[in-house]
Amino acid sequence: MRAQPIFSLVARARPNRSGDSVATRECLPSSEWSKRGLSHQGPVLDLARAPKIACLRLTPPRRPATPTLLSLFVAAVPSHRRLWCSREANRCFSTSTPFSSTKAVPLQSITSSTTLTLRANMSTATTTTVAEPITAETILRLFPDIDTRSDALEGHDEEQIRLMDEVCIVTDENDLPIGTASKKLCHLMTNIDKGLLHRAFSVFLFNDKNELLLQQRATEKITFPDMWTNTCCSHPLNLANETGSTLPDAIAGVKNAARRKLDHELGIKQEQVPFEDFRFLTRIHYKAPSDGKWGEHEIDYILFIKANPEVNANLNEVQATQWVSAEKLKEMFKDPSLKFTPWFKLICESMLFEWWASLDNGLEKYTDEQEIRRML
């Protein structure tokens, strides 16, 4: 009896709060697929009614920064051999190329509606076979990078663990994007010691008195907890409006990321910090351990902005804020009871106070620097 040709698509979501990684393999008719859509249960598409071309439309969740599709498994089996089977984590088929074992691109999060077109000649398909099943026992061996609930994160705050799933932009030493990796992977010292480098930004927000807004990082933070630092420090993510290979595109991306994180960390609404008001100064390349397990290795974009926003800090991110003058900040550095993040100290010890003095007159000569400042 001639069996129906089947493509199997399995979507694996990140582990849920109880630590369970959800993944299943099941065959559904095309009609049932259209009813259910993409879900954490990983629906499977039966291509029997469309043996040559099938288009799957994938729509992101309400929080586009959350990686929803961490890996894609597609298999088609003709009568005599397996046509193609991929078990590589974090890969899927390109939307612009025919179905092929040589045409695959990374996809770690869906940030806009995406149509995947899978093409194959199914004329010889007579049977289907089952590759190694994806179970609770095999999933971490087949896809080791999807689990952030390892011993390295045990005992940390649940929300901060969740944020470790965010997908950062991996670069070479010249700030050229060369890949993506989770926030967790980017901040493990074992990877940093091997040279893993990612893109970041540091915002310095000044009010109309030219006072700088500082934040003290929350105790719950996994890296550099309880330390004082500049207004906002974070990462552009692998999102359409935060990536960029050229410097102008990268600057635009970090400005978008800065507005997102100012809201997330400090409750500063985006309309209070317009995109066009951010001034890009330079990039610094630095490396710093947090403890024996975690650290930073970043190309850090320095952004200045003047605004008088309302601040409503997210206490899971920020435990305190303070507006300071240049003189007040210098006094704070003399207080041995206060701890500061390494990147903030590097910036303060090099150029911050010179930039600060030119905030209203002459800052232009410091902006849009093309070279990366190495502070290693």
Question: Which pLDDT value is given to residue 181?
Answer: 86
Q: From residue 230, how far is each of 90, 131, 194, 240 by CA, in Å?
A: 34, 51, 28, 26
If we measure between CA atoms, which residue out of 66, 72, 43 comes closest to residue 142? 72
C-alpha span between 373 and 376 (Å, rounded): 9
If we measure between CA atoms, which residue out of 72, 88, 82 comes closest to residue 130? 82
Question: Which pLDDT value is given to residue 291?
Answer: 74
| Continuous H helices in the chain | 30-36, 139-142, 158-163, 183-187, 189-192, 247-266, 326-333, 342-347, 353-357
Contact 294, 217 (CB under 8 A): no
Question: Which pLDDT value is given to residue 159?
Answer: 65
Rg (CA), the chain: 24
Tally of CA atoms within 13 A in the half-sphere of 145 that contains its CB: 21
Strand partners, 234: 201
Q: Within a 10 A sphere around the Cβ of 60, how many other Cβ atoms?
A: 18
Instruction: Locate the domains of the chain by residue range.
Output: 1-147, 149-375
Question: Which pLDDT value is given to residue 1?
Answer: 35
Q: What is the DSSP string of 38-80?
A: S-TT---B--TTSSSEEEEEE---S-TTS-----EE-EE--SS
C-alpha 183 chain-centroid distance: 6
Question: Which pLDDT value is given to residue 294?
Answer: 87
Question: Which pLDDT value is given to residue 153?
Answer: 54
If we measure between CA atoms, which residue out of 114, 170, 128, 148 comes closest to residue 44? 128
C-alpha span between 198 and 236 (Å, rounded): 9
For 149-375, which CATH superfamily applies?
Answer: Nucleoside Triphosphate Pyrophosphohydrolase (3.90.79.10)
C-alpha span between 234 and 107 (Å, rounded): 22
C-alpha span between 136 and 20 (Å, rounded): 8
Question: Which pLDDT value is given to residue 123?
Answer: 34
Question: Which pLDDT value is given to residue 40?
Answer: 31
Q: From residue 291, how far is each of 141, 188, 200 by CA, in Å?
A: 28, 10, 20
Contact 40, 22 (CB under 8 A): yes
If we measure between CA atoms, which residue out of 227, 224, 248, 250 comes closest to residue 237? 250
**Sign of the torsion angle spanned by Cα atoms 171, 347, 286, 372:** positive
Counted residue by residue, the chain has a size of 376
State the catalytic residues.
Answer: 233, 298
Low-confidence residues in the chain, pLDDT < 50: 1-131, 134-136, 139, 143, 145-149
